[in-house]
Structure 1
């Protein structure tokens, strides 16, 4: 099957489920606990290479239950953010993988206070993380805040362009940040195309983070498809239960193939 690009976790049963579909790409969604066992992360990456699958890692979203923010005033969050990025940079460089990272998540300080000054401050902090590796990180946008295309008018010109920042564009996050406007989504896809290396493909009604299978939301996938075809991407669909069954991702890949 075409476009088998899937997301999972490090559990062997979870990985075995994805490998049944002979995927091109698998993205491992990591937790802060996973980083306590770097050898397991390396083992899973090597399993993918042995099967000819391209590996991506996803930086943990939180630390001890608190969502990450690169500008957090909590020194423990800031320390974990940098130490985890440094560790994952080393793993990715040695094991030939890439890593998705968020500058911040919603419900953090950076999701609320959007100014040009704070955008420059964010740029300086991201530049520090880039010092761990210029090659492995791709930066994902949020639905709110400083690293949101629909909420921060300074993001592209004052942060992405000066850093020549490698991006992971989450199509649904961008769509939601503009309140479900496909034309504004198209504009962002055009402007970020020189920097975007990777995409998360997931549908949405455009009002909240609903993570729908492709075809169940309002995103114009016929418009999106030409922007992503020659790049890496996965289908990042919310799964039920223990997330072991990736059928909604497979169905989304089939939908995308027919668009």
Structure 2
């Protein structure tokens, strides 16, 4: 298995840097401005496919400086959320790619009043977006709020399971949502395994969104490895400068390749 699985943006210099490592997967982080030029997005996906690289897009996190929320009380944010999902679904269907999408981000409307009633409202909004394409979107968890494993006890049983929702599980987000508890992280990885198609592998101290290189935080990668092995994933590490140099992601890939998987984790995987 090729473990060079990287993240970048649409800048050609950025892409050329990632391609120099002969990756298996690249995820393109998109801004709201990127969506003004759909042909540029298509071109970058095609460059990947020409090299035999699988393409993922990441839905823009902000519009006009405001973080997105599928339940936002700002009509302009709701409009952009809907229209951008429709556009990216069309691009992904035609270009054979997938798209990571957040239901909401930290500090938005969906981080308040985490109740079963609001979880069911969120479920129906997600169902509506899924109508653009069930096969394109993979839904990523947040650190807090309605779409957070540590923040919402109703999320898995009352939203993910009924929708059979395709997931992106961000290992660091889940870890932080449980304040650095590896056993609770293990429980989520096991419970979401039937629905998880894609993972973001990032280390963390478990206190804040620190996005550390693997091995520099407190996540138990021996435990994590057998639970994500065989699925798509990338190493999503915060980069400095203009983000053109992805060395921390490459070093994370080397670290993960050398992690000896936890034996009882392997046994559990064989039994599932």
Q: TM-score per shorter chain, which class?
A: over 0.9
Shift of 1:112: 2.2
> C-alpha offsets along residues 161-202 of structure 1, whole Å, 9 cap, x if unaligned?
000000000000000000000000000000000000000000
Matching of residues 28-43 of structure 1 within 5 Å: 28-43=28-43
Measured in 1, the distance between the counterparts of 2:206 and 2:71 equals 27
TM-score normalised to the size of structure 1?
0.99
Deviation track 1:8-55 (CA, whole Å, cap 9, x = no partner) reads 000000000000000000000000000000000000000000000000
- Distance in 1 (CA, whole Å) between partners of 2:141 and 2:52 is 29
Say whether the 8 Å CA contact 1:4–1:23 is kept in structure 2. Answer: yes
Deviation at 1:107, TM superposition (A): 1.1
- 1:108 is displaced (CA, Å) by 0.4
Q: Contact 1:92 / 1:99 at 8 angstroms: preserved in 2?
A: yes
Retained in 2: the 8 A contact 1:204–1:219?
Answer: yes
Cα deviation per residue 1:194-241 (whole Å; 9 max; x = unaligned)? 000000000000000000000000000000001111100000000000
Q: Distance in 2 between matches of 1:236 and 1:89?
A: 23
Instruction: Tell me what 2:102 maps to.
Output: 102
Q: What are the Cα deviations for residues 121-167 of structure 1, in whole angstroms up to 9, with x where unaligned?
A: 00000000000001000000000000000010000000000000000
Match of 1:222 in 2: 222
Instruction: Give 1:120-199 correspondences, 5 Å limit.
Output: 120-199=120-199
Task: Map Cα deviations across residues 61-84 of structure 1 (whole Å, 9 max, x no partner).
Answer: 000000000000111100100000
The residue number in structure 2 matching 1:242 is 242
What is residue 91 of structure 2 aligned with on the other side? 91
Distance 1:8 1:79 in 2: 26
What is the alpha-carbon distance in structure 1 between the residues aligned to residue 24 and residue 227 of structure 2?
A: 18
- State the Cα distance separating 1:111 from its structure 2 match: 1.3
2: CA distance between counterparts of 1:256 and 1:51? 24
Which contiguous aligned blocks of 4+ residues in structure 1 show a shift greater than 6 angstroms? none
TM-score, normalised via structure 2 length: 0.95
Q: Give runs of aligned pairs for residues 35-74 of structure 1, distance below 5 A.
A: 35-74=35-74
Q: How many residues are aligned here? A: 259
Name the residue aligned to 1:20: 20
**CA separation in 2, counterparts of 1:116 and 1:241?**
42
Alignment-derived partner of residue 231 in structure 1: 231
Where do 5+ consecutive residues of structure 2 fail to align? 260-272
**Segment of structure 1 superposing worse, 111-120 or 180-189:** 111-120
Distance 2:161 2:45 in 1: 31
Which structure 1 segments of 5+ residues have no match? none
